């Protein structure tokens, strides 16, 4: 049986490298492993699977940030309540990625970020919501629905008697991924190392026990899906989970609770939708120089270079660079808006009045062209 499982793990490893693996295959593999006695050989297989799942979580958390950032920067008023809410969501996604990186580092594995950069439009890593294609666009009706699907909990609490539904039926959720990660940690009880982990304002704490793993995963699920206890009130009505925040944006209504322990409803008072730049969906492969005005291309190019520098710093943070690299990566993330916002104000030569937007495209920083552009 173990030879069969080893062969299956090798197949999954190949699928991971080919980016065709999915959660169902990984979870089925985990279920088969759980049926086996935890021998030394079986322990190694479980540990290899845990590392695969954690790397998937790192890539997944990273993959949510570009579409959320594009939506944020499309809002003209940075102080608008919906912009404030999106900014808080992005900060929490950064925290979730840091937790996933620390959990992987605790097992002696260096998180891979620059070699696992998501491409848009594209699928989410690890087969999460496999029917969903994530796109880069401004804040609009479709992007809000996509964001809700990304953050969808396993059980949705009805609001004013309504529930959320979308066109897709296959929903392997973010929460399921983290549930399997926690199960493996609890099963294996591995010795955890604090080497190459990061603590501080952007990472909170190092993971040095299974109890801290459990706390981190509970927080990730609670902030994202609001699934802890299956109540929006678990995080506080002024600090809703991401799924319910996006639902408020979609409905243009605040979610309130009728009374302590009562039903949840959408408030009568409407939330004004912000004035946004009508950023069009970024095409496959991103915008090419020959297809855009020079003014737009210069902003696209500088954005891509800065984005790639951010990726390098994020990767370096858990590969020897430490806290200073993650702080610099965070600074670069918000420097990107200097190029994104004016880009979104440039109209495309189309009849729909749409504008350009950033491609979030990784480029080779060692090329002579990009080296020359860094200081411009």
Q: Are 241 and 96 in contact (CB under 8 A)?
A: no
Cα separation values, 137 from 129, 267, 357, Å: 19, 28, 7
Look at residue 237 and tell me whether its pLDDT is greater than 60. yes
Average pLDDT over residues 79-86: 95
Range in 38-42, 115-119, 310-314 the model is least confident about = 38-42
268-278 pLDDT tens trace: 999 999 999 99
Distance separating alpha carbons of residues 253 and 144, to the nearest angstrom:
14
Predicted confidence (pLDDT) per residue in 173-196, tens digit: 899 899 989 999 998 999 999 998
Q: What dihedral do alpha carbons 22, 330, 150, 287 form, nearest 10°?
A: -80
Lowest-confidence segment of 24-38, 146-160, 169-183, 188-202 by average pLDDT: 24-38
Residue 348 has pLDDT above 60, yes or no: yes
Query: What is the distance between the alpha carbons of residues 230 and 236, in angstroms, rounded to a whole number?
Result: 13
In whole angstroms, what is the distance from residue 22 CA to residue 60 CA? Answer: 12
Statement: residue 218 has pLDDT above 70: yes
Cross-strand partners of 75: 276
Task: Answer whether 0.85 is exceeded by the pTM.
Answer: yes
Residue 242 has pLDDT above 80, yes or no: yes
**DSSP β-ladder status, 264-270 and 253-257:** antiparallel
Query: Any idea of the CA torsion for 335, 339, 341, 344, to the nearest 10 degrees?
Result: -150
Count Cβ neighbours within 10 Å for each residue of 16-46 and write b for 16 or more, e otherwise.
Answer: beeeebbbebbbebbeebeeeeeeeebeebb
Cβ(255)–Cβ(237) below 8 Å: yes
């Amino acid at each position: 049986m173990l030879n069969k499982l080893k062969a299956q793990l090798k197949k999954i490893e190949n699928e991971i490298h080919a980016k065709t693996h999915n959660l169902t295959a990984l979870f089925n593999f985990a279920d088969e492993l759980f049926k086996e006695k935890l021998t030394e050989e079986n322990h190694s297989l479980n540990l290899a699977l845990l590392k695969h799942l954690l790397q998937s979580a790192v890539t997944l958390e990273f993959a949510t940030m570009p579409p959320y950032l594009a939506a944020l920067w499309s809002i003209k008023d940075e102080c608008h309540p919906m912009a404030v809410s999106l900014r808080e969501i992005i900060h929490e996604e950064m925290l979730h990625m840091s937790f996933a990186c620390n959990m992987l580092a605790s097992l002696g594995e260096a998180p891979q970020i620059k070699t696992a950069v998501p491409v848009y439009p594209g699928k989410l890593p690890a087969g999460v919501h496999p029917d969903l294609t994530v796109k880069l666009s401004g804040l609009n009706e479709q992007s809000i629905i996509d964001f809700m699907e990304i953050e969808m909990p396993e059980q949705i609490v009805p609001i004013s008697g309504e529930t959320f539904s979308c066109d897709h039926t296959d929903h392997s959720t973010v929460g399921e991924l983290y549930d399997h990660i926690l199960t493996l940690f609890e099963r294996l009880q591995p010795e955890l190392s604090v080497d190459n982990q990061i603590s501080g304002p952007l990472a909170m704490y190092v993971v040095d026990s299974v109890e801290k793993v459990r706390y981190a995963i509970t927080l990730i699920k609670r902030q994202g899906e609001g699934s802890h206890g299956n109540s929006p009130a678990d995080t506080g009505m002024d600090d809703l989970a991401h799924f319910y925040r996006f639902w408020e944006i979609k409905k243009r209504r605040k979610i309130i609770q009728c009374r302590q322990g009562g039903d949840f409803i959408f408030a009568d008072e409407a939330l004004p939708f912000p004035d946004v730049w009508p950023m069009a969906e970024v095409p496959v492969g991103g915008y090419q120089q020959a297809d855009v005005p020079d003014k737009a291309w210069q902003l696209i190019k500088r954005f891509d270079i800065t984005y790639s520098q951010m990726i390098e710093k994020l990767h370096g943070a858990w590969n020897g660079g430490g806290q200073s690299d993650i702080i610099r990566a965070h600074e670069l993330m918000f420097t990107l808006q200097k190029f994104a916002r004016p880009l979104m104000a440039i109209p495309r030569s189309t009849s729909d009045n749409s504008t350009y937007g950033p491609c979030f495209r990784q480029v080779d920083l060692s090329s002579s062209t990009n080296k020359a552009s860094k200081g411009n």
